[in-house]
Amino acid sequence: MLASPLFGDTVPKIQLGTQTNAWAIDPDQIGTLYSVLRRINELGFKGFETGYRNFQSVTGDLKPVQAHLESTGLTFFGIHIFLLNYDEKTHIAPEVLYTKVIETGSALGAKHLILSGSPCQSESDLANKAAGLNHAGRIAFESGLSVAYHNHSPEFQKGEREIRYLIENTDAKAVGFVVDAGHAFRAGADVPSFLSTHASRVIGVHLRDSRNGQEVPLGEGDFPLEATARALRDANWSGWALLEEERTDGSKPGDAAIVPAFQALRRAFPA
């Protein structure tokens, strides 16, 4: 996501968005997602990311849903597949699932399919995971989406072994990365340095914070937000900075976390 040289020294714009996970959404009631998106727009975000399950109640003609999403004025940054159990060979979602989600995401105007995965234990695991991501990327491309891999902490452990392997062994034209900076930071990564080095493969950054091991709104904990923002600006990066104010205990803090976090995000990435 480097700046194009076609327009001289124009500074690339970093877009501000959020996941919907901070709010309570009933996957069987699409109206609850609509309400959250209206609130996201009211708060001043430019785009959103949401889980594929939030569309599970939608069947048949998807045009009314697409029209409703477009009416929010928000960019549908990504539709995310997170599972408790992944394909045993590829360590990402099974092809039968992500193919269906690609079809749904494409019909609804999503820009990216975001895939989480399970950690790899061996070189063959890593090779199979990279191959699986490349395959998913090719399928998504045919439907107008791009694939981005989303990490948790394990990918940044052991000297960042897994995340570096995936970056080096996936097709840059088919696979990008949504770096969960909070998970990476808790795994011991130098997040600003990592993002500076790999900015060209990163399409989005999930931002979250903690203090003394407890989750807090972005800007209220130990995460190096200012240094991270500076590294991205210095790299002429033009992706999406997205709040991830979900909580590991399953609670949904909603505005109580999102509002102060968005203020911190705006200070770090001024317009």
Span 69-94, pLDDT tens digits? 999 999 999 999 999 999 999 999 99
Question: What pLDDT is attached to residue 205?
Answer: 98
Question: What pLDDT is attached to residue 11?
Answer: 54
Between CA 109 and CA 46, with CA 105 as vertex, the angle to 5 degrees is: 45
Question: What pLDDT is attached to residue 241?
Answer: 98
**CA atoms of 271 and 268, how far apart (whole Å):** 10
Strands (E), the chain: 15-19, 47-51, 75-81, 112-115, 146-150, 175-180, 202-207, 209-211, 214-216, 240-243
Judging by DSSP bridges, how do beta strands 214-216 and 209-211 pair with one another?
antiparallel
- Asked if residues 174 and 198 have their Cβ atoms less than 8 Å apart, the reply is no
Q: Taking Cα atoms as reference points, which of 175, 233, 236, 241 lies closest to residue 205?
A: 241
Residue 98's alpha-carbon distances to 45, 92, 94, 218, in angstroms, are 27, 9, 6, 31
Question: What pLDDT is attached to residue 12?
Answer: 66
**CA atoms of 2 and 4, how far apart (whole Å):** 6
Question: What pLDDT is attached to residue 271?
Answer: 81
Q: Taking Cα atoms as reference points, which of 176, 183, 189, 178 lies closest to residue 227?
A: 189
Computed on alpha carbons and rounded to an integer, the radius of gyration of the chain in Å comes to 18
Which class does domain 12-255 fall in?
alpha beta
- Asked if residues 136 and 170 have their Cβ atoms less than 8 Å apart, the reply is no
- Asked if residues 219 and 209 have their Cβ atoms less than 8 Å apart, the reply is yes
Which SS3 state, helix, strand or coil, does residue 65 take? helix
Q: What pTM was computed for the model?
A: 0.94
Low-confidence ranges of the chain (pLDDT < 50): 1-9
Question: What pLDDT is attached to residue 7?
Answer: 37
Q: Encode 184-198: b = buried (16+ Cβ within 10 Å), e = exposed.
A: bbbbebebbebbbeb
Question: What pLDDT is attached to residue 210?
Answer: 95
Between CA 86 and CA 115, with CA 246 as vertex, the angle to 5 degrees is: 30
